[in-house]
Amino acid sequence: MTNDNTTRKKANAVFFAAVMVISMVAVGFAAAPAAATNASNLDIGNGAGSDLTSQSGTLSNVQIDDVGGSDNPGMFVFIDENDNGEFDDGEISATNTSTYSPGDTGISIGELDTSGLDDGTYTVYGVEASGLSDGDSSFDTSVDLTIDDAAPSVQDAVHYTSSDPAIGTTIEISFDESIATGTLEDGDIVVGTSDTTLPIDTTAVDTSGNPQIFVNTSKTTYNNVENVSISGIEDGTGNEIDDTFDVTFAPTTVNTTVDDTSESAFFEAFSGENVALESDGSDTFDIEGPGVSRTRGTGSNSQIYVLNTDDFETGEYNITNSDNEESVLDLRDLGLDVEAGEDNFTTSDDVTATVTSDAIDRDISADVLDEDGDSVADLESTIDDDGEVEIDFGALDETGIFTIEVTDDNSGVSAETGDFEITEAPEGDLSFEETFITQERGDNANITINFQGDLDTAYLTIGDEEEVGYETNVTVDADGEDSVTVGFNTYLAGNTSEGDVSGSDVVFVADSDSDATVTFENESSDSLNNMLAAGTYPFEMSENSFVENANDNADAVGDLELTERGVDNFRLWTTSTDVYEDVEDVEDITGAVENETVVQTSSLTEGDVLIHELTATGLEGAIDANGDSLADLIDAGAVDVRIRQTSGSTAPNAEPKQVDVGTMIDEGDVDIISTEGSYFIAFQESNIVLTEDDRSIADEDEFEVRVQVRDERLLDPDEDELDDADGDLEEFYETATVTFEYLEATGEFDTPVEVTSAEGQTITGETNAAPGQELTVRVRSDSEVSPGFVLTAEEVAVQSDGTFEAELDFTDASVGDNFTVTAQQSTFDAEEDGTVVEADAPASASFQVSDLNPQDVTATVGDTLTVTATVENTGEQEGTQTVEFRVGGNAVASQDVTLAGGNSTTVEFADIDTSGLDAGDYEHGVFTDNDDQTATLTLEAADTGDDTGGDDTGGDDTGGDDTGGDDTGGDDTGGDDTGGDDTGGDDTGSDNGTDDGGSTDGSTPGFGAVVALVALIAAALLATRRND
């Protein structure tokens, strides 16, 4: 055991000694490089120990320091290309280029070729050693080398108008790194649009926001901007940008820093367009609105975020930036829509569509798209002031299924039609739209030709020299249109041979918007003295030549029947200036007639408009020959218009007043609006000019309007008859007349004027002003009313029956308040007193007149009149009024009438003597305080001969026994029964109320035979009632 222990101890000693030796050897080997570490301060071109960013190429200024020691085995520098922390054979390396001594600094190292390195960051190691072996990982010093061969890149480019005036309309370009712009020159930045390029001067480039620049576009917005090309800008390593980048256009900008959500501060845009959310630097935005809740940001180096609203609903969107500043974007619907003209087109048809929008004056781009979405045709247009435009792509050669896409240029909003088909056009064919056409002589006859397939030319012959004594040949070039309407002037036809008339005036394209061409070739050689005669004129056409027509080989034939022309009707209409200012064409007039704001009339009221409607055929050709309006015919003397006072309204020993129509036309105070066969001649009363400057029209002046056709060619008189008249054409004039009376404007409020203390109270009135006149009704409380009130109803319109109604709010008035109501801004004056009454108070008495008898009637001067009428109290309170019978505006009889509410009575005015009146027309009628009913009384001069004044009428037969005596004038009628106590006594008049008058013309009650009959019937009824 002892021996074993000794042996074990020895063995252990040997073992541990060996371990110590091996350990010391291992430590010696491991520590050997550290003991030899002598390299530091590696400089690869940016200073000792500093990292370097550089383009790839050659690092030629590499240095390193020796920190001392006793040996100088050499310096070794390499680039760790795979970033594994070890030296690998083949990695870029270099050694010192000359000997050095321990402790030397700035020891030059050979060039490091980095041209093969990709962009990225690499570690460059240095070590004092003669070389390294593959896998070595112990080094003295290191720095980072970043290879950057990439030019700066554009993150976003946005064209918008900044809310900052200093920036204005611009393109904001944000880069992904800092840039150097010192080498930027004019033209290095070029803005590209769909149709041009715009080189930018350096003065228009703001680089102060590096790495963000603004390109000023000189206050011009380019909604067709596409890209921007940039050169002359470098990054820190000298990489120059030279590329083209897409630009996003945003037509609307929201200044997110306004911090104002009031409606007046809303930013408006159309749903579907790009909206620039602008801040004053990089920012984020919370967007909340209909169906939207999201957060977006500008990104780095930008102050703009472009919000695409393609899928956004209309409505208000609240936008909050990172500083909690709020703004509101109000999205509206542009309403852009497009509809194809047809569901099916052929290759000979023009492909058309209608584009509409809720906004006007919008530039649009349109494309025809095939089934792959590729454009086969495009055009640009503008939606007009009506919010609509027709677009025409012309005929397309492509066949298949297509759509039309329309884009609003500014907003980028698009709309697309449904599918339509284009098929191959059939073979060509010609046809007439109508093969039998009727037109009046002198008018323009329209012959419409339909073109089918690839045919584009027609040879048209109108008339036949042998059959009807007239013939003309016309070439029609459709220029791709499906139909062309040829206008044929039957007034000028047959007058080109002497050179006074151009063939283009005889035949022409009737549609001014058509691109077709109509060429007059020739017509009959002999000039016609008159218009084409009434009769039937053949017309035919060929796709080949006029010879085909002449040889009866035409492709289509038809007949034109010319009928006699003439003046058919002449009537008057009136309206207010308020209505007439909106009248531009015949459709406006007919529409106003339907709305009863233009009404037929026989008078012209002060301040109104008079419209003369002349219905006449056969004038269109003459109008075209002299200009383009009836006014040209009037100016040429072919038609004469005279407006002259009638003799009946002209004062004795005075010349009739006459309107100077020619001067009014020359001064533009007469409007002539026409359509085929109807001519409206209109003027305002205030523009009437008389031939005598010192005279003026007066109330109740009556004028005759006479229109005469005087053109010999239009009149076409028989030659023999004209010779018999010694060539005096006047006998053949065509004349149409109509009369009107001038009236001063009058008006009044319906009485009594009573309202309650409530809203919706109406005050009504009546006027002779034309319908459509708009007036103001003003109510002003009397001076003793406190608190006082002033109420106004504006744009109160006169109705077709002459009434008007104003609705007013009397809520602030009190029962018993008195006021005055007036009509203002009207052609008439009206004023009335009114009262605020209890809501349930009975309506005041209002006496209305009806059943005037007789009405329009003729009598003889000296006749006695008996007039009756019904007076009804339409109010609820009893009232008493003086009821008058007036002739010519003067009260000639009156009586007081008392009526309970709702009751009526018949008033009679008997034995009205007309002997003091002159022969003529008078207005007569019954008048109350509230109403009147009038008619016309015509008095004729009395005949002084025996037939009227002798025995036959004034003697026995009528004035004697038979009528004036016992039978009628005696007991039965003129005595006790009628003329006595019951009728002729206290109830009506004297005891001899009927007896004395007899039945002579001079004393019969009423107006002649008609009224006498009425009186007899009345007497019979009275007798019957007495017998009952």
- What is the pLDDT, as a whole number, of residue 943? 75
Q: Is 959 inside any structural domain? A: yes
| The 890-899 sheet, strands edge to edge | 857-860, 932-940, 920-927, 879-887, 890-899
Query: In this structure, are 408 and 554 located in the same domain?
Result: no
Q: Is 842 inside any structural domain? A: no
Q: Is 523 inside any structural domain? A: yes
Smallest Cα–Cα separation from 691: which of 703, 679, 681? 703
- What residues form DSSP beta bridges with 869? 907
Query: In this structure, are 233 and 115 located in the same domain?
Result: no
Paired tokens of 878: 């009893």
Query: In this structure, are 551 and 617 located in the same domain?
Result: no
Q: Is 309 exposed, middle or buried (0-12, 13-18, 19+ CB in 10 A)?
A: buried
For residue 774, the surrounding DSSP H or E stretch is: strand 774-781
Residue ending a domain, choose from 147, 166, 182: 147
Q: Is 96 inside any structural domain? A: yes
The CATH number given to whatever domain includes residue 536 is 2.60.40
- What is the pLDDT, as a whole number, of residue 972? 39
Query: In this structure, are 72 and 217 located in the same domain?
Result: no
Query: In this structure, are 601 and 712 located in the same domain?
Result: yes
The total of structural domains in the chain comes to: 10
| The 774-781 sheet, strands edge to edge | 753-756, 831-837, 818-824, 774-781, 790-797
Query: In this structure, are 820 and 868 located in the same domain?
Result: no
Task: Summarize the confidence of residues 278-301 as an average pLDDT.
Answer: 93
Residue ending a domain, choose from 675, 708, 743: 743
Smallest Cα–Cα separation from 125: which of 31, 68, 42? 42
- Please say if the pLDDT value at position 29 is more than 70: no
Domain that includes residue 858, residue range: 847-940
Task: Summarize the confidence of residues 45-73 as an average pLDDT.
Answer: 89
- What is the pLDDT, as a whole number, of residue 453? 79
Query: In this structure, are 162 and 45 located in the same domain?
Result: no
- What is the pLDDT, as a whole number, of residue 944? 62
Does residue 140 contact residue 49 with C-beta atoms inside 8 Å? no
Q: What is the pLDDT of residues 451-460, one digit of tens each?
A: 987 789 999 9
Q: How confident is the model at residue 945 (pLDDT cuts 50, 70, 90)?
A: low
Q: Is 1012 inside any structural domain? A: yes
Q: How confident is the model at residue 966 (pLDDT cuts 50, 70, 90)?
A: very low
The CATH number given to whatever domain includes residue 308 is 2.60.40.420
Does residue 227 contact residue 247 with C-beta atoms inside 8 Å? yes
Query: In this structure, are 538 and 575 located in the same domain?
Result: no
Residue ending a domain, choose from 332, 347, 372: 332
Instruction: Give the C-alpha distances (Å, rounded to integers) separating 457 from 431, 476, 483, 639, 812.
Output: 12, 6, 11, 39, 78
- Please say if the pLDDT value at position 976 is more than 80: no
- What is the pLDDT, as a whole number, of residue 37? 53
- Please say if the pLDDT value at position 963 is more than 70: no
Query: In this structure, are 115 and 232 located in the same domain?
Result: no
The CATH number given to whatever domain includes residue 759 is 2.60.40.10
Q: How confident is the model at residue 1006 (pLDDT cuts 50, 70, 90)?
A: very low
Task: Summarize the confidence of residues 848-873 as an average pLDDT.
Answer: 93
Query: In this structure, are 602 and 515 located in the same domain?
Result: no
Task: Summarize the confidence of residues 912-921 as an average pLDDT.
Answer: 89
- Please say if the pLDDT value at position 535 is more than 90: yes
Angstrom distance (rounded) from CA 771 to CA 769: 7
Across all residues in the chain, what is the average pLDDT? 87
- Please say if the pLDDT value at position 946 is more than 60: no
The CATH number given to whatever domain includes residue 396 is 2.60.40.1930
Determine how β-strand 252-255 pairs with β-strand 248-249. unpaired
Residue carrying the six token digits 């071109």: 45
Query: In this structure, are 514 and 580 located in the same domain?
Result: no
Q: Roughly how many angstroms between the first and final C-alpha of the chain, as a whole number?
A: 183
DSSP per-residue codes, 119-170: SEEEEEEEEESS---TT----SEEEEEEE--PPP-EEEEEEEE-SSTTT-EE
Angstrom distance (rounded) from CA 460 to CA 477: 11
Does residue 911 contact residue 1005 with C-beta atoms inside 8 Å? yes
The CATH number given to whatever domain includes residue 221 is 2.60.40.1220
- Please say if the pLDDT value at position 977 is more than 50: no
- Please say if the pLDDT value at position 22 is more than 60: no
3-state helix, strand, coil in the chain (%, to 5): 15, 45, 45
Paired tokens of 679: 């001519």
- Please say if the pLDDT value at position 435 is more than 90: yes
Task: Summarize the confidence of residues 350-361 as an average pLDDT.
Answer: 95
- Please say if the pLDDT value at position 539 is more than 80: yes
Query: In this structure, are 161 and 229 located in the same domain?
Result: yes
How many DSSP H helices and E strands does the chain contain? 16, 72
Q: How confident is the model at residue 957 (pLDDT cuts 50, 70, 90)?
A: very low
Task: Summarize the confidence of residues 17-32 as an average pLDDT.
Answer: 38
- Please say if the pLDDT value at position 426 is more than 90: no
